[in-house]
Amino acid sequence: MCSGAYYFVMQLARDPKQIGNIIRRSRKKQGLTQSQLGDKAGLRQATVSQVENGHSAARIETLLELFAALALELCVAERSKDWSIET
């Protein structure tokens, strides 16, 4: 389980679109434009847009750069036992 001494909100993402939505929400919460986030992460605005729109070919390095620029952590956990591909 991802935890620490700090209060945090865990956001579940199981596909590229959900990851993009998390990045978009965090960017907007911080008052950043896609261009500003791209500058902080060393990426082009178009790349930020593609990730936020759930482009499935985003590289893990790109996602990690965006997470770092937004002060987000990537946490991996086992799926809940009652989750299935049909849900």
Instruction: Write the pLDDT tens digit of every residue in 34-77.
Output: 999 999 999 999 999 999 999 999 999 999 999 999 999 988 88
Q: Specify the pLDDT at position 61.
A: 96
Are 27 and 70 spatial neighbours (Cβ–Cβ below 8 Å)? Answer: yes
Q: Is residue 3 part of a domain?
A: no
Q: Is residue 7 part of a domain?
A: no
Q: Is residue 49 part of a domain?
A: yes
Q: Give the mean pLDDT of 4-17.
A: 73
Q: Is residue 24 part of a domain?
A: yes
Q: Which residues of 13-45 are buried (b: 16+ CB within 10 A; e: fewer)?
A: eeebeebbbbbbebbeeeebebeebbebbebee
Structural domain total, the chain: 1
Q: Is residue 10 part of a domain?
A: no
Q: Is residue 28 part of a domain?
A: yes
* CATH at residue 64: 1.10.260.40
Distances (CA, A) of 2 to 6, 10, 17, 73, 77: 11, 9, 22, 9, 8
Q: Specify the pLDDT at position 85.
A: 52
Distances (CA, A) of 22 to 1, 5, 26, 74: 19, 22, 6, 11
Which domain, by its residues, includes 42? 16-69
Q: Specify the pLDDT at position 10.
A: 76
- Tell me: pLDDT of 30 over 90: yes
